[in-house]
Amino acid sequence: MQTAGLGIVIKENKILLVHRKWHPMIWGPPGGFSDPGETIEETVCREVFEETGIECRALEEIHHFTYEDQYSHSYIRVYACEYISGEIQCSFESTEVKWFTIDTLPKPLSPEKEVFQKAIEMIKQTI
């Protein structure tokens, strides 16, 4: 089983999401698999930047889950992330990248809305 990290980046109470181009074709936080020798926090920040052009700081793991389908079996670690800088840009891995409020989150979405709310609350306490 591979480990992947997802980063829920919060900027001014808005959540950064990507719409994935490949399976599963859903909205979710940017992220991906760790490179050899990389910490999961480094993975999260690298993947967020590669997929969105946004620099962030991974603060704390707030959720985890196992994902399995015909293509992969992965352990997913989700981090609340502080926005540092950058303007969004869409990578080849996504069809769209956008900022959303908690009340306008798109569907289908993964993970569930409560995880995004937890990230917002953590960021409010941290900064």
Q: Catalytic amino acids?
A: 96
**Residue 80: C-alpha distances to residues 21, 40, 72, 109, 116 (Å):** 23, 13, 24, 17, 8
108 three-state secondary structure: coil
Q: From CA 83, how far away is CA 52, in angstroms rounded?
A: 12
Q: How far apart are the first and last CA of the chain?
A: 35
DSSP state of 116: H
